Amino acid sequence: MSGEVKIVACVNLKGGVGKTALAVNFAAYCGMKNLKTLLIDLDPQTNATFSCISPEDWQKHAAEHGTVADLLGVRNHASAEGAAKDPASVIKRGVFQNVDLIPSHLDLFTIDLDLGAANARETKLRRALKDIVDNYDIVICDCPPNLTVPTQNALALSTHYVVPVSPDFLSGLGIALLLTRVAKFSDELESPIEHVGIAMSRVGRPSYYRAQTMESLRTTFGDKVFQTEIRERSAVSEATSKNVSVFQMNDKDAANEFAALSAEILAELGL
Ligand SMILES: Nc1ncnc2c1ncn2[C@@H]1O[C@H](COP(=O)(O)OP(=O)(O)OP(=O)(O)O)[C@@H](O)[C@H]1O
Ligand SMILES: [Mg+2]
């Protein structure tokens, strides 16, 4: 790795806060801005994968070329080592303009059991992709809602991370814990992982504590909270089911919000 490429993990301990929506649409935005972009789906739920490609395309690609599970050595639970495929072949090219995808696989659900005793299991992805990431301007990792082995692999690869937060009471609670844990992980790996910011997402979803949570996040984390707020809009989930980004939907407001947030993130990354 040359150190030039920006590698950004989308993380939060909480589920359903818009991590995948941000990872996918931020990737699409980067591609539209002519940045050569790699999106890596590290969530066994495979939501980012199926936001970009159809289940049929995934099935064919997984059978012929493999998925992120191959890079982590857990394909079909073969063994803790597995039979890793050529990392370059695992990449599905051109899912959006200038965006490539490393798809995920359900096998990741049990990776913590499968790799329980494996040495250096949290750096498997980094080692598998060491000759690949320099081909890109930006790499974006979508993570599951926890800090288990897939997220650890994303963080070990990453130079930066963003935290999408849905402004309900419970979403706000884990953020300080998350920031502390990532800082500790970064120290232990002796690999800087910079916190880029907190993105307020799915704003407008009915939520009793919304106003208090948003105010408290802005008070606690100050300018670490991005200015742009992503509102709850049906175009966002509809885009997912159509395997397109929000920029290809007929909703200017949704597109404008994701563009503005993406521009804020790129500015923080110096891109
Ligand atoms: N701004 C939005 N407006 C409307 N729906 C949204 C928006 N953002 C996300 N969604 C929808 O809400 C659900 C959860 O969003 P998303 O999958 O992005 O969250 P997540 O944090 O990745 O969840 P998980 O932790 O399960 O991976 C999805 O069905 C998604 O399509
Ligand atoms: Mg997700």
What are the domain boundaries of the chain? 6-34+111-269
Q: What is residue 76's DSSP assignment?
A: G
Q: Are 216 and 172 in contact (CB under 8 A)?
A: yes
Dihedral sign, CA of 212, 215, 220, 224?
A: positive
Could you tell me the distance, in angstroms and rounded to a whole number, from the CA of residue 146 to the centre of ligand 2? Answer: 11
CA of 49 to the centre of ligand 2 (A): 10
CATH topology of domain 6-34+111-269: Rossmann fold (3.40.50)
Nearest-angstrom CA–CA distance, 156 and 11: 13
Q: Helix, strand, or coil here: 232?
A: coil
* SS3 state of residue 265: helix
Ligand 1 nearest-atom number relative to CA 234: 4
DSSP annotation of 119 reads T
Per-residue pLDDT of the chain (271 residues; tens, 9 = 90+): 666 899 999 999 999 999 999 999 999 999 999 999 999 999 999 999 999 999 999 999 998 899 999 999 876 433 334 455 678 999 999 999 999 999 999 989 999 888 888 889 999 999 999 999 999 999 999 999 999 999 999 999 999 999 999 887 666 678 999 999 999 999 999 999 999 999 999 998 766 677 788 888 899 999 999 999 999 999 999 999 999 999 999 999 999 999 999 999 999 999 9
CA nearest ligand 1 atom 30, residue:
237
In this prediction, residue 211 carries a pLDDT of 79
One-letter amino acid of 183: A
Residue closest by Cα to atom 14 of ligand 1: 16
- What pLDDT is stored for residue 79 in this prediction? 37
Does 232 contact ligand 1 (Cβ within 6 A)?
Answer: yes
Give residue 80's pLDDT. Answer: 36
Handedness of CA 41, 160, 114, 177 (dihedral sign): negative
What's the CA gap between 251 and 257, in Å, rounded?
10
pLDDT in the model for residue 148: 94
Confidence (pLDDT) at 82: 45
Please report the atom of ligand 1 found closest to the CA of residue 144.
27
What's the confidence (pLDDT) of residue 74?
79
What string of DSSP letters covers 135-200? G-SEEEEE--SS-SHHHHHHHHH-SEEEEEE-SSHHHHHTHHHHHHHHHHHHHHHT---EEEEEEE
For residue 105, give the DSSP letter: -
The helix/strand/coil state of 91 is coil
Instruction: Give yes or no for residue 15 CB within 6 A of ligand 1.
Output: yes
